[in-house]
Each structure stands twice: as C-alpha cells, then as structure tokens.
Homo-oligomer: A and B are copies of this chain.
Amino acid sequence: MTDPEQACPIAPAVDIVFSRWTTPILWALHEHGRQRFVELQRRLPSITPKVLTERLRRMERDGLLTRTWYAEVPPRVEYEISDLGRSLSPVFAQLATWAGDHLDEVAKARDAYDATKMQNV
C-alpha cells in the first residue's frame, strides 16, 4: 500500500471491498441472512477454515459485518452483514449488470488476443 491511491480515487475502496473471498462472503450473508460459521463454510465449499476466519476477522474489523458470540455449549457464533456492508449493494448491482453485459466481450477479446499471439507453446 504505497501510493496507487494518489493516482486513483477508488483505490482505497478497492483494497477494502474486493478480494478473492470478500465479495463471495458478503454475497452469502446478503442472500441468506444471519448465519453461523459452519453454514458459511458449506456455502463456500472450497474455502478453508483458516482463510474463512481470516477474512471474517478483517471484514468485522472493517465494519462490513458483525460477529455475535453466544456462550453456549457447544459454542454458537453468528455472522450478519452490517448496514455498512449492505451499503455496498448498489456497487455490486452495478458490477453485476456490467458483468452480464460485457463478460462475453472479455472472453472474445481474450480469444482474439491469444489467436493473434499464436500461443507459442
């Protein structure tokens, strides 16, 4: 984190919001409501507990979600998207629209590029 921010006003937000797992986690919480660690694990089948924990901690710290601990046996912990997390909805909606409209163009561009570069392998 040196200074790409200076050249680009959205760089700080990108740092907070976009990573391999933040959007899937936020999406799961948004779509399926308040849920427990193990439920998130089931919805994100390929994530490992270590990584899920790390991401949840960071997102909790950033205020994107809340973590509620119930001192029961066995322990129960519930995660819920916060208002701040929910405030990202328009951004995600906009991006979803873009993806729907343009992802195939990206695929075509890649094919064209790879074809002209004639993949030297």
Chain A residues with CB under 8 Å of chain B are: 2-4, 7-14, 16-18, 20-21, 23-24, 27-28, 43-47, 60-63, 84, 87-88, 90-92, 94-96, 98-99, 101-103, 105-106, 108-110, 112-114
Bound complex: CA A87 to CA B109 (Å):
15
Bound complex: CA A112 to CA B28 (Å):
25
Bound complex: CA A44 to CA B3 (Å):
8
Bound complex: CA A99 to CA B8 (Å):
12
A11 proximity list for chain B (CB < 8 A) = 20, 23-24
Chain B CB within 10 Å — which of A47, A60, A106, A108 has the most?
A: A106
Taking the closest CB of chain B, its distance from the CB of A71, in whole angstroms, is: 17
